[in-house]
């Protein structure tokens, strides 16, 4: 996994040679809100088919980084990005990049489950129809498949027409993941997907995320270091330095937790900083 080569004491991962091919790649990515530099010079490659956890204290730019990867930043007034962001051979920041197609390839799961105020079935059918899939039998097949994939089918198959808002928090989050999977993304951006869930439900959603490894490239923002250690293959630590968010260190989960190269990383994972 690449790390920035600027003067900040950043290093390359010793296991770089073993990394799977990158799916996403940023080079000297910086992000401003008005004149405030929120992310500075971030160079990283995200391995394909793996789970990469983004960790770091509040305000260090983890969510802002995710927003660059599917151009949600376009929707934020006075937000400006420079540098490069690639999804395989797609130049994400190119003005001609089709953001609707991009967001289909790069799906987002938010902290708070946000099902539509429709039935369980329609939560999945609606985006499919919006993307041109109109055949009822095909829609039914996809609804069943993605609900099976997220482990929800047996729990809801008798009540597909009942309101999604009546589901429990964990079921809602799994439905939101199913809704995203229905559009066959390549990348899943998950911004603290378990932070609104109790520990048992968190375990169910974590098992689901692990089951998606290999089929999707997953980036997960988490404040839960134990969760990062349990489920991630790779970890990237962000930190605020001189007022802007930086990438401090990125590497395999084993390296970051057992042999961190940077003093800040060691302090953060031991709980003495952050």
Ligand X SMILES: Nc1ncnc2c1ncn2[C@@H]1O[C@H](COP(=O)(O)OP(=O)(O)OP(=O)(O)O)[C@@H](O)[C@H]1O
Site string for ligand X, 129-148 (x = CB under 6 A): --------------------
Distance separating alpha carbons of residues 5 and 27, to the nearest angstrom: 10
Binding-site size for ligand X (CB under 6 A) equals 12
Task: State yes or no: residue 82 binds ligand X (CB under 6 A).
Answer: no
Interface residues for ligand X in 214-243 (CB under 6 A)? Answer: none
- Residue in 59, 74, 254, 258 binding ligand X, rule: CB under 6 A: 59
**245 binds ligand X per the rule CB under 6 A:** yes
Q: How many other CB atoms sit within 10 Å of the CB of residue 25? A: 17
Q: What is the per-residue DSSP string for 180-224?
A: HHTT--SEEEEESTTTTS-HHHHHHHHHHHHHHBTTBEEEEE-S-
Among 38, 106, 160, 237, binds ligand X (CB under 6 A): 38
Q: What is the distance between the alpha carbons of residues 190 and 232, in angstroms, rounded to a whole number?
A: 12
Nearer to ligand X, 35 or 272 (CB): 35
Interface residue with ligand X, options 58, 95, 96, 226 (CB under 6 A)? 58
CA 115 to chain centre: 18
Tell me the window of 54-62, 95-103, 137-145, 228-236 that interacts with ligand X (CB under 6 A): 54-62
Closest CA to 15 of 50, 60, 41: 50
In this structure, the number of other CB atoms found within 10 A of the CB of residue 36 comes to 10
Rule CB under 6 A: choose which of 40, 62, 150, 256 binds ligand X: 62
CA 212 to chain CA mean position, Å: 13
Nearest to ligand X of 42, 212 (CB atom) = 42
33 contributes a contact to ligand X by CB under 6 A: yes
Which neighbouring-strand residues pair with 246? 239
CA atoms of 54 and 63, how far apart (whole Å):
9
The answer to the question of residue 76 lying near ligand X (CB under 6 A) is yes
- Per CB under 6 A, does 101 bind ligand X? no
67/171 with CB nearer ligand X: 67
Residue that the structure tokens 């073993």 belong to: 18
Beta strands in the chain (DSSP E): 22-33, 36-47, 51-55, 79-87, 90-91, 106-109, 187-191, 217-221, 234-241, 244-252
CB of 65: closest distance to ligand X in angstroms? Answer: 7
At closest approach, how far in Å is the CB of 152 from ligand X? Answer: 27
Give the nearer residue to ligand X in terms of CB position, either 58 or 137: 58
Which residues sit at the interface with ligand X, rule CB under 6 A? 33, 38, 56, 58-64, 76, 245
């Amino acid at each position: 996994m690449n790390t920035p080569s600027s003067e900040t004491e950043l290093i390359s991962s010793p296991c770089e040679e073993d990394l799977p091919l990158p799916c996403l790649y940023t080079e000297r990515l910086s992000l401003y809100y008005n004149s405030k530099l929120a992310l500075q010079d971030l160079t990283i490659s995200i391995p394909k088919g793996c789970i990469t956890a983004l960790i770091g204290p509040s305000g260090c730019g983890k969510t802002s980084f995710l927003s660059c990867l599917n151009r949600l930043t376009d929707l934020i007034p006075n937000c400006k990005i420079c540098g490069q962001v690639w999804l395989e051979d797609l130049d994400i920041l190119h003005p001609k990049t089709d953001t609707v197609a991009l967001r289909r390839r790069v799906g987002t799961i938010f902290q708070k489950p946000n099902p539509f105020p429709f039935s369980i079935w329609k939560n999945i059918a609606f985006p499919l129809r919006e993307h041109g899939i109109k055949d009822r039998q095909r829609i039914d097949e996809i609804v069943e498949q993605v609900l099976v994939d997220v482990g929800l089918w047996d729990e809801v198959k008798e009540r597909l027409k009942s309101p999604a808002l009546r589901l429990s928090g964990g079921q809602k989050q799994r439905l939101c993941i199913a809704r995203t999977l229905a559009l066959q993304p390549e990348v899943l951006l998950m911004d603290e997907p378990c932070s609104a869930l109790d520990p048992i439900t968190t375990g169910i959603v974590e098992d689901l995320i692990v089951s998606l490894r290999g089929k999707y490239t997953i980036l997960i923002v988490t404040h839960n270091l134990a969760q990062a250690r349990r489920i991630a293959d790779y970890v990237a630590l962000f930190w605020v330095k001189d007022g802007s968010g930086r990438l401090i260190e990125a590497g395999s989960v084993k390296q970051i937790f057992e042999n961190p190269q940077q003093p800040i990383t060691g302090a953060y994972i031991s709980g003495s900083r952050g």
